[in-house]
Amino acid sequence: MDRTNWTEIEFILQGLSEYPKVEKLLFVMCLMMYLVILLGNSPLIILTLLDSHLHTPMYFFLGNLSFLDICYTSSFIPSMLIHFLSQKKTISFTRCVVQMSVSYTMGSTECVLLAVMAYDRYMAICNPLRYPIIMSKALCIQMAALSWGLGFLNSLTETILAIQLPFCGKNVINHFVCEILAFVKLACADISLNEIAIMLGNVIFLFSPLLLICISYIFILSTVLRINSAEGRKKAFSTCSAHLTVVTVFYGTILFMYMKPKSKDSAVDKLIALFYGVVTPMLNPIIYSLRNTEVLGAMRKLMRRHWFWRKG
C-alpha cells in the first residue's frame, strides 16, 4: 500500500474480544492501577523539584523515572480503557504508529536510565569522597539527556523501518495495544530486516544495560563487604536496595516473558504482557517511597506546608 493511503489504513486491536466479561474486569483493574501510577509518580516528581533535600543525583534520576512511567502508561492505557468498553476496537494507522513509537521510546529509555542509576549508586558507595564532584548537576543532566536521546533514536529507527512496510488484508493486531512486533507481522512483505533490527535493539537496550548494572553491583558488593561496622554495611545496602528491587522487578518480568514456553492460549500471553506494562510502573513509586525516610519526610513537610497555607 502506498504511503499516500496511510490515512485509510485501520487496525483492529483484538485484545480479549472473545471474553467481554473479562474485558470489563480488566477495565476496572487497569483504571485503578493507572490512577495509582498517576497518584504515585506525580508526587515524587513534585517532591524532587520542590524539596531542596532531594536535589541529589539519585532523586534527580528518580524524577526522570517517574515522569517516564507516566508517559509510558499514558501512551496506551487511556485508549485501551476505551476499547475495553467499546464494540469498535479500531485504531488508525497514525495513532497506532504514535502509540507504538512512544511506548518503545519509554521502554528503551528506562533500560538505559536504570543503568545510569546503577552507576550513580556505584559512585556514591565506592567513591563517596569524590561523589559530589564527579556527579555534578551538569553530568546528571547530560546522562539523563543521553538516556532519553538513545531511547528516542532506537524507537525512531524501528518506527521508520516499520512504516516502510506495505499492509494489506484485515490488519488484526492480536494484542491490547499497538506492539511493534505484532505490527510488522501484519505486513504483506518480507520483514527479515525488521526482525533483525528489533532483535539487535533488544540486545543493545536490554542486555547491555543489564550487564552494566551487574558490574556496578559487583563493585558495590565488594566495597560494602570491606566495611567493618555492621551499621555501615546496613546503611550502604539501604541506599541501593530500592534501585535493586526496581531492576529485579523490571528485568525479572522481561526475562520471564521471553524465556517462558509459549502458551497454547494466546490470552494468557496477552494478559502477562499487559500486566508487565501496567504493574511495573505502578510498583516503582511504592518501592522508592516505602521505608525511604527522605521521601516520606519530604512528603510530610509538603503536606504540613499545604495545611498551614489553607489554615492561613
Which pLDDT belongs to residue 48? 86
Mean pLDDT of 264-284: 78
Q: How many CB atoms lie within 10 A of CB 221?
A: 14
Buried b (16+ CB within 10 A) or exposed e, 119-137: bbbbbbbbeeeebeeebee
- Looking at residue 66, its pLDDT comes to 93
**What distance in Å separates the CA atoms of residue 154 and residue 202, rounded to the nearest whole number?**
10
Q: CA–CA distance from 17 to each of 20, 131, 255 (Å)?
A: 6, 53, 28
So what's the pLDDT on residue 106? 93
In what helix (H) or strand (E) does residue 154 lie, and over which residues does it extend? helix 137-163
Span 143-172, average pLDDT: 90
pLDDT digits (tens, 9 = 90+) for 77-135: 999 998 888 888 888 888 899 999 999 999 999 999 999 999 999 999 999 889 999 99
CA distance 120 to 240: 10
Task: Evaluate if residue 309 carries a pLDDT over 80.
Answer: no
More confident residue, 171 or 45: 45
Q: Which residue has the cell 467499546?
A: 86
Nearest of 259, 279, 252 to residue 114 by alpha carbon:
252
- For residue 31, CA distances in Å to 28, 38, 74, 233 come to 5, 11, 11, 41
Q: How confident is the model at residue 1 (pLDDT cuts 50, 70, 90)?
A: very low
Rg (CA), the chain: 22
Residue 227, all three cell numbers: 566495611
Give the distance between the most distant pair of CA atoms in the chain. 69
Instruction: Give CA–CA dist 20/17, Å, rounded.
Output: 6
Over residues 187-243, the pLDDT tens digits come to 888 888 988 998 898 889 988 999 999 999 999 999 888 888 888 788 878 778 888
Higher pLDDT, 155 or 229: 155
Instruction: Say what percent of the chain tops pLDDT 70.
Output: 87
Q: Which pLDDT belongs to residue 306?
A: 56
pLDDT of residue 136: 93
How is residue 79 written as a grid cell? Answer: 485508549
Indicate whether 164 pLDDT > 90: no
For residue 39, is pLDDT > 80?
yes
* Higher local confidence (pLDDT), 202 or 145: 145
Q: What is the pLDDT, as a whole number, of residue 3?
A: 46
What are the pLDDT digits (tens) for 241-270? 888 888 988 888 777 776 666 655 567 777
Report pLDDT for 87.
81
Q: Which residue has the higher pLDDT, 265 or 138?
A: 138
Cell 493486531 belongs to residue: 173
For residue 85, give the C-alpha cell. 468498553
Q: State residue 91's pLDDT score.
A: 87
C-alpha cell at 181: 512486533
State the DSSP code for 6. Answer: G
Residue 282 clears pLDDT 80, i.e. is over it: yes
Predicted local confidence at residue 112, as pLDDT: 95
